[in-house]
Amino acid sequence: MTGHLKILDQRVAIITGAARGIGLATIKLFAAAGASIVAFDLPQSPLEDAIKMAKDYGVPIRTFHGDVANATDWKKVINETIDQFGKLDILVNNAGVSGFIGSMLEYPDDVFDQVMAVNARGVFLGMKYAGQVMKSNGGAIVNISSVSGIGGGRYVMAYTASKHAVVGMTKLAAAELAMFKIRVNALCPAPTATEMMFEMARTQSPDDPDAIRRGMERMIPLGRYGEPDEIASAILFLVSDAASFITGTAIPIDGGLKAS
Ligand SMILES: NC(=O)c1ccc[n+]([C@@H]2O[C@H](COP(=O)([O-])OP(=O)(O)OC[C@H]3O[C@@H](n4cnc5c(N)ncnc54)[C@H](O)[C@@H]3O)[C@@H](O)[C@H]2O)c1
């Protein structure tokens, strides 16, 4: 396929949570932009759609099955990236889980640790091990936080804690890694039309999952969920040279939710 500016030509990118949702939409835009891609997701999450998108745009792709909460997996994926492509320019820390939904007074202790491991520790490990190799050539990191990373809300205690942690780590990493010409930014999306939201709605309201969506959409000034492609577009901008003076930010991408 043609028709897209190849603004990521010669760039090598790792994208986590690449099997579906925002991660898969990011694979599509990065492939259209000419990037060489490493798609990272859990062993049980097929990456065939990611492979197909890369093939459609004629860009090289490597897949990696592992757990972002596991340091050994990060060392492996970075080593494989360097073996295959010789460098790393871009990391998108997108993998995430929502965890328990309900009162903080009932929040299961072990689920708190599991959510923090994926959403916070996973982002830390990614930035640490990617940063160690990116420092030789510079690059860009985008961490996917959430509107739950910049506000309180209700019922998703560990998710909110972990997404606030992502914003804090983004700012620290931006300050520390600027000397290596590595930019680090976070995006804070409002509800976006992916399986993560659909699953949460089915759990919260099994008889009428759409009621959850309608309720959320009433709170968003633009009156709708975001689309995965809209989040991916912002990721593409932040990793591109068009954002060359932007680092350390946590940008809401939320249809106006946080403005109202
Ligand atoms: N969908 C939303 O409304 C929304 C809003 C704000 C922020 N976000 C964030 O955007 C990111 C992507 O969300 P999505 O909506 O596309 O979710 P999704 O559930 O559709 O996809 C998440 C992907 O991450 C993978 N993943 C989960 N745990 C992993 C692990 N330990 N190691 C490797 N891969 C793992 C899953 O297998 C899945 O493919 C998440 O960080 C999420 O918190 C989503």
Atom of ligand 1 nearest to the CA of 22: 16
Q: Quote the pLDDT of residue 67.
A: 99
195 is a domain residue: no
Assess whether the C-beta atom of 192 lies below 6 angstroms from ligand 1. Answer: yes
Atom of ligand 1 nearest to the CA of 193: 1
Arithmetic mean of pLDDT, 118-122:
99
143 is a domain residue: yes
Residue with the two structure tokens 């990065």: 30
The answer to whether residue 159 is catalytic is yes
Cα(179) to ligand 1 centroid in Å equals 30
Per-residue pLDDT at 224 exceeds 80: yes
pTM above 0.85, yes or no: yes
Among residues 57, 129, 159, 225, which one is catalytic?
Answer: 159
Q: What is the CATH number of the domain that holds 104?
A: 3.40.50.720
Per-residue pLDDT at 3 exceeds 70: no
Q: Quote the pLDDT of residue 102.
A: 94
Mutation pick for ligand 1 pocket among 14, 16, 22, 114 (CB with most ligand atoms within 8 Å): 22
3 is a domain residue: no
Arithmetic mean of pLDDT, 211-220:
97
pLDDT band at 260 (very low <50, low <70, confident <90, very high): confident
Computed over every residue of the chain, the mean pLDDT equals 97
Q: Whose CA is nearest to atom 29 of ligand 1?
A: 95
Mutation pick for ligand 1 pocket among 156, 194, 225, 229 (CB with most ligand atoms within 8 Å): 194
Arithmetic mean of pLDDT, 168-183:
98
Arithmetic mean of pLDDT, 226-232:
98
Arithmetic mean of pLDDT, 56-63:
98
- Domain extent, residue 89, equals 12-189+226-252
72 is a domain residue: yes
Atom of ligand 1 nearest to the CA of 117: 31
Q: Quote the pLDDT of residue 219.
A: 97
Assess whether the C-beta atom of 167 lies below 6 angstroms from ligand 1. Answer: no
Arithmetic mean of pLDDT, 8-27:
98
Arithmetic mean of pLDDT, 91-108:
98
HEC string for the chain: CCCCCCCCCCCEEEEECCCCHHHHHHHHHHHHCCCEEEEEECCCCCCHHHHHHHHHHCCCEEEEECCCCCHHHHHHHHHHHHHHHCCCCEEEECCCCCCCCCCHHHCCHHHHHHHHHHHHHHHHHHHHHHHHHHCCCCEEEEEECCHHHCCCCCCCHHHHHHHHHHHHHHHHHHHHHHHHCEEEEEEEECCECCHHHHHHHHHHCCCCHHHHHHHHHHHCCCCCCECHHHHHHHHHHHHCHHHCCCCCCEEEECCCHHHC
197 is a domain residue: no
2 is a domain residue: no
Q: Quote the pLDDT of residue 4.
A: 56
Arithmetic mean of pLDDT, 85-94:
99
Cα(40) to ligand 1 centroid in Å equals 12
| Domains: count for the chain | 1
Per-residue buried b or exposed e for 163-183, using 16+ beta carbons within 10 Å of the residue's own CB: bbbbbebbbebbeebeeeebb
Per-residue pLDDT at 1 exceeds 90: no
Assess whether the C-beta atom of 148 lies below 6 angstroms from ligand 1. Answer: no
**Cα–Cα distance measured from residue 218 to residue 87, given in angstroms and rounded to the nearest whole number:** 45
Cα(182) to ligand 1 centroid in Å equals 24
**Cα–Cα distance measured from residue 94 to residue 78, given in angstroms and rounded to the nearest whole number:** 16
Q: Whose CA is nearest to atom 25 of ligand 1?
A: 17
**Cα–Cα distance measured from residue 88 to residue 101, given in angstroms and rounded to the nearest whole number:** 36
Q: Whose CA is nearest to atom 17 of ligand 1?
A: 196
127 is a domain residue: yes
**Cα–Cα distance measured from residue 260 to residue 255, given in angstroms and rounded to the nearest whole number:** 10
Atom of ligand 1 nearest to the CA of 226: 3
Quick one: CA torsion of 156, 161, 163, 168, rounded to 10 degrees? 160
210 is a domain residue: no
Q: Quote the pLDDT of residue 5.
A: 76
